[in-house]
Amino acid sequence: MDSVAKRELSLYNGATAIELTEANWDAETAGKSVLLKFFAPWCGHCKKLKPDWDKLMEEFNGSPGSLVGDVDCTAGGQSMCEKHGVKGYPTLKYGEPGDLKDYQAAGTSTA
């Protein structure tokens, strides 16, 4: 199954995530501003972020100039995590694919 078919299948199944790896990085990010979540599947904070992240990815799905995606640091994206200096999970980065910046959001509290 080629990458286009896999992507279409994942969209059909309701999973709009684009998981970036070294193999598809250039093709998926070319000409786009990106917001990326570098994660590990076993990470509790990553699991907690997943539902909101999935909604955000769905909102930007198909955007010609923007990409919201995932990079699994334990699998095919491991080399990308190393290249972009990921030290903990989840790590959010944004910007141009060749010059990613760390995303620092103000925390919120419901207490």
User: What is the distance between the alpha carbons of residues 97 and 29, in angstroms, rounded to a whole number?
Assistant: 6
pLDDT band of 40, cuts 50, 70, 90: very high
pLDDT band of 13, cuts 50, 70, 90: very low
Q: Other CB atoms closer than 10 Å to residue 24's CB: what's the count?
A: 16
pTM here is 0.79
Instruction: Determine which one of 43, 76, 84, 95 is catalytic.
Output: 43
pLDDT band of 73, cuts 50, 70, 90: very high
Give 75-90 pLDDT, tens digit per residue.
999 999 999 999 999 9
Instruction: Determine which one of 14, 31, 44, 107 is catalytic.
Output: 44
Percent of the chain with pLDDT over 90: 72
69 is catalytic: no
Which residues have C-beta within 8 Å of that of residue 19, sequence separation ≥ 6? 69, 70, 71, 72, 76, 77
